[in-house]
Amino acid sequence: MSWLGSWFGHKPKLGADQQHRLAAWQALPPVELKAPVGESRYVVVDVETTGLNLMQDRLISIGAVAVVNGRIALGDSFYVVLQQRAASEKDNILLHGIGTSAQLEGEAPAEALLAFLEYLGKSPLVAFHVTFDETMIKRALRDYLGLNLKHPWLDLAYVMPGLHPPLARKLRALDDWIGHFNIRIDARHNALADALATAQLLQVAHSHAAEKDIASYAELQDLEKAQRWVSAVS
């Protein structure tokens, strides 16, 4: 289904089992965002797409890593490639490494997205430059599941400068921050590897936030909002 179809309210057809799984996820209770980091599960997410056009390009893969009670839980990770009707352009494939066969033989989009929701639960999400990841995931969920996702997101692209004002002008991209803190990344532009690097950056943020008595997701959201205002007026 195209984004245009979903925009005008044409809902996708889901099987009975898919409807049941979606309803079960929707019925999950929300998490307490004011709970301490040491008592929480956050899901750090990254995506790969056919390009950078938020309205026209398609979601290819989702990678996610959970940070549970402040620690990265490698056994609590997620990765899926969504089946494409046609593979992306060669230059795009060279960027993320997901080849033609992998794209054409990926998981059916509705099944892939239901699996992601079941992995996510109602845990709050974290990303670096949230707008892109959030828009692509929300669009896919709307197109393939008819779901209008309303979920908490935290953007480390604002949290990190908020915690380190002297570095804000020098460090902007994810590569800048992970390089500054000597975070290793084995395969840049692989959704799961990027999510793992971002999860490590979240741990750095937690450590430095604790020094400022910032101890919960909600307080990190407040810091993000303040930094967004600073960025807008500076």
In a domain, 162, yes or no: yes
**pLDDT score of 20 more than 90:** yes
Confidence of residue 11 (pLDDT cuts 50, 70, 90): confident
Backbone angles phi, psi at 54, to 5 degrees: -65, -25
How would you classify residue 88: left for phi > 0, otherwise alpha for psi between -120 and 50, otherwise beta?
Answer: beta
Total Cβ atoms within 10 A of residue 104: 13
Confidence of residue 1 (pLDDT cuts 50, 70, 90): very low
**pLDDT score of 9 more than 70:** no
Share of the chain above pLDDT 90, in %: 81
CB burial readout 136-169, b (16+ within 10 A) else e: bbbbbbbbbbbbebebbbbbbbbbbbbbbeeebe
What are 49-79's pLDDT values in tens digits? 998 889 899 999 999 999 999 999 999 999 9
In a domain, 33, yes or no: no
Tokens 């532009």 appear where? 189
What are 139-177's pLDDT values in tens digits? 999 999 999 999 999 999 999 999 999 999 899 999 999
Q: CA 157, 91, 139 angle in degrees (round to 5)? A: 50
**pLDDT score of 3 more than 50:** no
Classified as helix, coil or strand, 81 is: strand
In a domain, 55, yes or no: yes
Taking only Cα atoms into account, the Rg of the chain, rounded to an integer number of angstroms, comes to 18
What is the extent of the structural domain holding 86? 38-233
- Round the average pLDDT of the chain to a whole number and report it: 93
Nearest to 24 by CA among 120, 144, 106: 120
What are 184-221's pLDDT values in tens digits? 887 777 999 999 999 999 999 999 999 999 999 999 99
Confidence of residue 15 (pLDDT cuts 50, 70, 90): very high
In a domain, 13, yes or no: no
Total Cβ atoms within 10 A of residue 74: 10
In a domain, 118, yes or no: yes
Confidence of residue 7 (pLDDT cuts 50, 70, 90): very low
**pLDDT score of 87 more than 80:** yes
In a domain, 164, yes or no: yes
What CATH number is attached to the domain comprising 171? 3.30.420.10
**pLDDT score of 234 more than 70:** yes
Question: Which helix or strand (DSSP H or E) is residue 44 part of?
Answer: strand 41-49
Question: Which helix or strand (DSSP H or E) is residue 154 part of?
Answer: strand 153-155
Q: How many domains does the chain have?
A: 1
Tokens 């054409």 appear where? 104
In a domain, 120, yes or no: yes
What are 110-128's pLDDT values in tens digits? 999 999 999 999 999 999 9
Residue 64 neighbours by CB under 8 Å, 6+ apart: 43, 44, 45, 46, 77, 78, 79, 116, 119, 120, 192, 195
Look at 97 and 220; give whichever has higher pLDDT: 220
In a domain, 27, yes or no: no
Backbone angles phi, psi at 119, to 5 degrees: -65, -45
